[in-house]
Structure 1
Amino acid sequence: MRVLALCAALVSLSGCGLQPIYAGGGDGHVARELAAIEVPAIPGRDGWLVRNALTDRLSRGTSEGGTRYRLDVVLDDQVEGLGLLTDDTIGRERRILRARYQLVDVATATILIDATAGSDAGIDVVGSEFATIAAEQTALENLAQEVADQIVVRVTRTLREQQ
């Protein structure tokens, strides 16, 4: 009975028109297009983290030679105090990382994507200044990964639709 249900599910999936984004693995169309994206330097520590995360995600395929796209990213990194304690000190912070990005076709200077991505994280402010700074840095590292993931998903969908 279970085998029959599994076969029925597989048959219905094959007719729905869904196709894997990374069809063909590292040699597939989308992977090659992602590998042809250049990410220029982004100022600041947050920029360094986001650029490295983007470069790691984009360079998994084999490029057919040269840069075809450029991904321009501008970041806005803010830390704001949220909770006030009875002694008027901040008890909680929120770190917000927002990215405005554009995917540009280098050959035609056409902007294919003009969008934003962002995420935020809550940070407890404790008695140790070192611990608070370490928590802020860890939050920034995690936010950079999240923002890079959002950007790559949007870029991947756009490149897949162009195929």
Structure 2
Amino acid sequence: MSLSRRTLLRRAGGFGALAVAAALTAACGFQPLYGSSSARAGVSEKLAQVEITNIPNRYGQQLRNNLIDRFYRDGRPTMSPYRLEVGLSATEQKLALRKDSTAERAQLAVVAPFRLIESATGRALFTGSSRALISYNILEEQYASVVTVDNAYDRALVQIADDITNRVAMTLNNSGT
């Protein structure tokens, strides 16, 4: 048997294993969260029924806007059966020092505790916390340094918004409401 035949058989075996894994995954009830099939229909509609409360400070407003972009595809809800309350805190830690003892690298840790609440009863359906760790360089020019820190916050808030959106969507999808 030539080397090319062996390679072809090995690749065919790999594709066969992949097909078996896909079939087993489908058989166990695994479903993508978003999509248009009738089993998954409604996740986007359920997210659109969640009122996102105000989050204090400038970065809180940015996080809320990121969440609004992900939750509301066709406008905000008028009567919301659910309410999402989100907090936000951030800490910066210097990681690397130059010879003159000034910081050269830093890490931003942003934590956002959140609760999904049923509006009618006030009962918490889901409580969680999302966290993002972003490293960035501390530049010597003041304006460039400010822009770098803002960019780090932007990246962290996008990660947190994605995480919160996915976790709330899974909760609403699994709650059977």
TM-score exceeds 0.5? yes
Larger Rg: 2
Distance apart, 1:64 and its partner CA: 8.0
Distance apart, 1:28 and its partner CA: 2.4
Matches for 1:1-163 after TM superposition, within 5 Å: 5=16, 11-24=23-36, 28-60=41-73, 66-163=79-176
After TM superposition, the score normalised by the length of structure 2 is 0.80
The share of aligned pairs that are identical, in percent, is 28
Query: 1:112-151 CA deviation, whole Å, 9 max, x = no partner?
Result: 1111101011111122111111000011111100001111
Question: AA paired with 1:31?
Answer: S
Contact 2:115 2:127 in 1 (8 A): yes
Q: Counterpart of 1:157 in 2: which secondary structure?
A: helix
Contact 1:32 1:62 in 2 (8 A): no
**Count of aligned pairs:** 161
Query: 1:40-96 CA deviation, whole Å, 9 max, x = no partner?
Result: 111111101110110111112688862111110110022222222211111111111
Q: Counterpart of 2:66 in 1: which secondary structure?
A: helix
In structure 1, how many angstroms separate the alpha carbons of the residues matched to 2:77 and 2:135?
A: 42
In structure 1, how many angstroms separate the alpha carbons of the residues matched to 2:167 and 2:26?
A: 25
Unmatched 5+ residue regions in structure 2? Answer: 1-8
Structure 2 CA distance for partners of 1:143 and 1:77, relative to 1, 3 Å: same
Structure 2 CA distance for partners of 1:123 and 1:10, relative to 1, 3 Å: closer
CA RMSD of aligned residues (A): 2.5
Partner of 2:6: none
Unmatched 5+ residue regions in structure 1? Answer: none
In structure 2, how many angstroms separate the alpha carbons of the residues matched to 1:42 and 1:65?
A: 19
